[in-house]
Structure 1
Amino acid sequence: MGDIAVVGIDCAFPGAAGVRAYWDLLVGGRAGIGPVPGQRWEARDFPAVGGSGGFIDDADVFDSDFFSVTPREAAAMDPHQRLLLPCAWRALEDAGRAPGGLAGSGTGVFVGVMGGEWGRLTMSDLAQVTPLLGSGSSAGMAANRISYHFDFTGPSLAVDTACSSSLVAVHLAANSLLAGECDTALAGGVNIVLSPSLGLVYGQLGLAAADGRCKPFSADADGIGRSDGVGLVVLRRLEDALADGDRVYAVLRGSAVNQDGRSNGMIAPNRWSQERVLNAAYKRAGVSPAEVAFVEAHGTGTVLGDAIECAALGSVHGVPREAPCAIGSVKGNLGHTEAAAGIAGFIKAALALHHRIVPASLYAERENSRLRLGERGLRLLKSPARLPRGENIAGVSSFGMGGTNAHAVLASAPRSPRAVPVRARAEAGAAGVFTVSADTPEALCRNLAAQADAIAALPKGEAAALCRSSNRVKTGLPHRFALTARDTGELVEGLRRAVALRTPAPGVLRAAADRPWGRPVVAFLFTGQGSEYPAMTAGLYRESPAYRRHFDAADAALAAHLGASVREAVLGGEEWGARPELVQPALFAVGYALART
């Protein structure tokens, strides 16, 4: 299998609104489990389900204006769709892509989703059924809504293999990239617990945890606690990502999917199928199980499920090796996010490789001795483990209740100069332009404050990279703000001053424009003779390879007619406005290079 780069991530899980918060939750050894919110259901009416679970704060909040959705349509949309749209937007920005700039591209969308609770809740009264509820409750629309909004023309499909849905979606996305069906893919899953119905099923099957908490591989494990979750990753072929200078979190080396077939029960896990899917994934990745540093296990915390999974892991990974294979499960932190469970584990593993730290597995202190982990060459992580320098390999498992199993093999991002963003480095002390935009003046003010708080924690030297990404990655929305700054201190000061004053200040520009979408039509207006000055654009010429290339091309073309180069006159420190034979050609070269850049 060809290598696939993970270049962008966004997620929201219980107790963790965003990638940074998710990582902090994991390395901090915290759980996002809490009481059932009153707007979901009255917990006291369903004692068999328990009064706790994992719930995303404000899961019903959706900025319909931002996504050009009418309030009526937004009210009819499954919360799955409402969560996926902003998650997709942020994941693309995290990947260094301006979402609006991808309109019309063949980007693929692969989303794991299950349950259909929204449809059952909203369409049971047939007299109230509307076309908007039809599109709002369809599972397929979870992916199609993203493709429609962003104007993506690549493959777009929802995947339902129950609890393995989102890891199967990643597998399908990778195969689509390798087949050339798309060049960029969004893959992941979403789950919202809207009713106690599936919890009642778990209870009747003896699979529900009494306290609503998953305790994987623990002596206290007593079943599943249901949870919300949404997560998407942006995937590209590794060679394309490196050629474009993308940041790479981790590399998907290979993956496999299989089915239990007729086994020991429709919803019972099957050890032999789990072994086969692990071995198939490692074979496809060209990796020996002995090379795997850690496995992010399915690990639901059911007595039978944990026992079968550990037997399979021990059979595959308990080969002669220098140290036991570390295992853990994010379900201890989040609960069982069902259709989003696979992507929760996939993102955890990618971040662990990126940060070179594998978080501890919650509830590991009271390890279940009946699992015989030590005998099987396995080690349950009771504290965070640091990964050594060089390439590290991780496995990620996700198993569906109906018998569809998936396993993915991740590796550290390559330590190569091409893996570092190929962008011009700003000269020390050079000012950059930082831009922020929003749909409304109020949202712009909130964004300015949020940016100031985030940037305040960064080193001073990060300003140049922030300025570049704010212009390259962000889609320009109608209400815009720009300021110049030499370091993060100036950035934070300017942002906070703008929030406090709500008026333009020196070095600051505020403007409003029609909302662009797709590729904008741009016109340039350049001043004529009289605008020249010593060392005009000299800093830009030094810092920007693109500007330098276009200026030199114009200079070479003009030299054939002038018999001389304009470069020295324009970029030097001497006055050159008194040389009319150079002024207008030189200004043309500057304007041409600026426009082409």
Structure 2
Amino acid sequence: MEIDVTGIACRFPGADGVEAFWDMLLRGRNGTRVVPEDRWWADDFVSPAPPYGTGKVNTRHGAFIDDPERFDHGFFGIAPSEAAATDIQQRLVLQAGYHALEDAGIDPQSLRGSTTGVFVGVMSSDWGALHLTDYAGMTPQRGVGNGYCMLANRVSYALDLTGPSMSVDTACSSSLTAVHLAAGALRAGECDLAIVAGVNLMLTPILSIFYTQAGLSAPDGRCRPFAKSGGGIGRGEGVGAVVLRRSEDRPDDAPAPYATVRGSFVGQDGRSNGITAPTRRGQERVIAAALRSAGHTGADLHFVEAHGTGTTLGDLIETQALGATCGDRVGRAPLVVGSVKGNIGHTEGAAGIAGFIKACLSMHHRTVPPSLFADDENPALDLAERNLKLAVSAEKLPRGDLLAGVSSFGLGGTNVHVVIGSAPRVRRPIRRGG
């Protein structure tokens, strides 16, 4: 059973909205900048050179969205005091979910009482870290406003939706895991429509310190996927949301889907060299299983939106796994590989949905955007020998049915791969939001 991707909304660094995001991708822009002063004072935490001291980071940079606190609480019927006590990530998801429904041509008010599901990927909450240590100031609003479950439950409550409602934490793969779970719920008849979102907001340097101390942080704050100059992870933030529906339930007057979900699979690395160390075996298994669930092989794919963090080990393991599962392409062009992290950084809980949205827009426009830093390809990856190639410039996709894979791999070893396909070519109405 195919699943339509019928609505999209997003806010990512340097791109406030879907059209701006697509333009950013096509133009090959990067949203990295110096840490804004309203987040934290970067100079207080930066250590200029290794060895980095305790509590220090190795970069002043990251990829940030503008004005994350922008929120019309009255529109959603939320009291000012409750809104002020609520994690900004909840507010971002609520807005993005609403705009994604509008983009799908669905009046959110028409869904009241419906079995619409909500699935939200999340990895951390800096808001909670800032506000939940004031024990004397704890209030019911603050407690409710900082629960991970409320990222999804808030949307269900605000729109009166009665389908499955869950927040998902598998670290970096959270929001693509949410796509997998939502597609499964639609196929099982647990819901008739699904809102899927992923969110990440950087308000403290906590995870930046962790990445630095673990040797994972890029000194210039930029992800350089598959590049020889790749120095580690550059952090990013943002929110993305999609609306999913069974293709067989598509109304005649609905906008054309951006793409269709053909299959997916989620699995775990199990025991490896370390709990955060990626494994080729684990990645190969989920990619192959996702392809089987879609009724295809890796040779059928036209492109892959990779996890692509820009770490030396991560990029090597991922390209080895892609070569093993998708590199047997006799008579076909090499598989085009890219990663949105070159544009917006590693958005952690939102990383999977960011890559998924990029892939869906690529299907819709039948164009693979350039992958930033592709002109600095790491020769140690042996991409040509694996029948893989990076998109140095925008590449037009051929006519006919298209297939692509989207990968997202969690820090703790939970891996997910989703196979998407092209959708019927029908003109979409002018965008109204998101």
Question: How would you bin the TM-score normalised by the shorter chain?
Answer: over 0.9
Pairing partner for 1:388 from 390, 393, 398: 398
CA distance in 2 between partners of 1:354 and 1:49 (Å): 39
After superposition, residues 320-339 of structure 1 pair within 5 angstroms as 320-321=329-330, 322-339=332-349
Q: Confirm or deny: 8 A CA contact 2:109 2:159 kept in the other structure.
A: yes
Q: Are residue 5 (structure 1) and residue 15 (structure 2) matched?
A: no
Pairing partner for 1:272 from 276, 281, 287: 281
Pairing partner for 1:402 from 388, 392, 412: 412
Match of 1:14 in 2: 13
Could you list the per-position Cα deviations for residues 457-487 of structure 1 after superposition, in whole angstroms to 9, with x for gaps in the alignment?
xxxxxxxx66xx98xx9xxxxxxxxxxxxxx
Return the letter of the residue paired with 1:213.
R
After superposition, residues 186-205 of structure 1 pair within 5 angstroms as 186-205=195-214
Question: Tell me, what secondary structure is at the counterpart of 1:137?
Answer: coil
Q: Confirm or deny: 8 A CA contact 1:296 1:327 kept in the other structure.
A: yes
Match of 2:110 in 1: 101
- Gaps (5+ residues) in structure 2? 47-56
Pairing partner for 2:167 from 158, 178, 183: 158
Q: Confirm or deny: 8 A CA contact 1:114 1:139 kept in the other structure.
A: no
Match of 1:64 in 2: 73
Q: Confirm or deny: 8 A CA contact 1:7 1:241 kept in the other structure.
A: no
After superposition, residues 428-507 of structure 1 pair within 5 angstroms as none
Q: Are residue 317 (structure 1) and residue 326 (structure 2) matched?
A: yes
Could you list the per-position Cα deviations for residues 284-337 of structure 1 after superposition, in whole angstroms to 9, with x for gaps in the alignment?
001111010100000000111001101111111110331100001000000000
Pairing partner for 2:231 from 222, 227, 232: 222
Q: Are residue 183 (structure 1) and residue 182 (structure 2) matched?
A: no
CA distance in 2 between partners of 1:281 and 1:414 (Å): 22
CA distance in 2 between partners of 1:246 and 1:16 (Å): 23
> After the TM superposition, which parts of structure 1 deviate over 4 Å for at least 4 consecutive aligned residues?
none
Match of 2:370 in 1: 360
Could you list the per-position Cα deviations for residues 121-176 of structure 1 after superposition, in whole angstroms to 9, with x for gaps in the alignment?
10112111111110111000000000000010110000000000000000000000
- Gaps (5+ residues) in structure 1? 422-464, 474-597
Q: TM-score, normalised by structure 2?
A: 0.95
Match of 2:54 in 1: none
CA distance in 2 between partners of 1:318 and 1:203 (Å): 34
CA distance in 2 between partners of 1:21 and 1:280 (Å): 34
Shift of 1:360: 0.7
Could you list the per-position Cα deviations for residues 534-572 of structure 1 after superposition, in whole angstroms to 9, with x for gaps in the alignment?
xxxxxxxxxxxxxxxxxxxxxxxxxxxxxxxxxxxxxxx
Question: Tell me, what secondary structure is at the counterpart of 1:287?
Answer: coil
Shift of 1:116: 2.6
CA distance in 1 between partners of 2:19 and 2:132 (Å): 37
Q: Confirm or deny: 8 A CA contact 2:62 2:235 kept in the other structure.
A: yes
Relative CO higher for 1 or 2, CA cutoff 8 Å, sep ≥ 6?
A: 2
Question: Tell me, what secondary structure is at the counterpart of 1:60?
Answer: coil
Query: Between Structure 1 and Structure 2, how many residues are aligned?
Result: 422
Q: TM-score, normalised by structure 1?
A: 0.69
Return the letter of the residue paired with 1:11.
C
Return the letter of the residue paired with 2:43.
R
Moved more, 110-119 or 217-226: 110-119
Return the letter of the residue paired with 1:363.
F
Shift of 1:414: 3.0
Q: Are residue 170 (structure 1) and residue 179 (structure 2) matched?
A: yes
Return the letter of the residue paired with 1:297.
A
Shift of 1:118: 1.6
Q: Are residue 342 (structure 1) and residue 349 (structure 2) matched?
A: no
Shift of 1:240: 0.7
CA distance in 1 between partners of 2:78 and 2:287 (Å): 43
CA distance in 2 between partners of 1:41 and 1:349 (Å): 33
Shift of 1:243: 4.7
Q: Once the two structures are aligned, what percentage of the paired residues are identical?
A: 57
Name the structure where helix makes up a greater proportion of residues. Answer: 1
CA distance in 1 between partners of 2:146 and 2:335 (Å): 42
Pairing partner for 2:243 from 222, 234, 237: 234
CA distance in 2 between partners of 1:176 and 1:331 (Å): 29
Q: Are residue 112 (structure 1) and residue 121 (structure 2) matched?
A: yes
Shift of 1:188: 2.1
Question: Tell me, what secondary structure is at the counterpart of 1:186?
Answer: strand
Return the letter of the residue paired with 1:176.
A
Shift of 1:420: 6.7
CA distance in 2 between partners of 1:270 and 1:240 (Å): 39
Q: Confirm or deny: 8 A CA contact 2:112 2:159 kept in the other structure.
A: yes
Q: Confirm or deny: 8 A CA contact 1:49 1:196 kept in the other structure.
A: no
CA distance in 2 between partners of 1:251 and 1:49 (Å): 41
Q: Confirm or deny: 8 A CA contact 2:256 2:424 kept in the other structure.
A: no
Return the letter of the residue paired with 1:329.
S
Could you list the per-position Cα deviations for residues 378-430 of structure 1 after superposition, in whole angstroms to 9, with x for gaps in the alignment?
00111111001111111000000000000000101035xxx678xxxxxxxxx
Q: Confirm or deny: 8 A CA contact 2:89 2:200 kept in the other structure.
A: yes
Shift of 1:244: 5.3
Q: Confirm or deny: 8 A CA contact 1:241 1:248 kept in the other structure.
A: no
Shift of 1:263: 1.5
CA distance in 2 between partners of 1:372 and 1:221 (Å): 16
Could you list the per-position Cα deviations for residues 193-232 of structure 1 after superposition, in whole angstroms to 9, with x for gaps in the alignment?
1111111111011100001100000010000111111001
Match of 1:42 in 2: 41
Could you list the per-position Cα deviations for residues 478-536 of structure 1 after superposition, in whole angstroms to 9, with x for gaps in the alignment?
xxxxxxxxxxxxxxxxxxxxxxxxxxxxxxxxxxxxxxxxxxxxxxxxxxxxxxxxxxx
* 1:183 to 1:420, Cα distance in 2 relative to 1, 3 A: farther
Could you list the per-position Cα deviations for residues 332-353 of structure 1 after superposition, in whole angstroms to 9, with x for gaps in the alignment?
0000000100000000000001
Return the letter of the residue paired with 1:57.
D
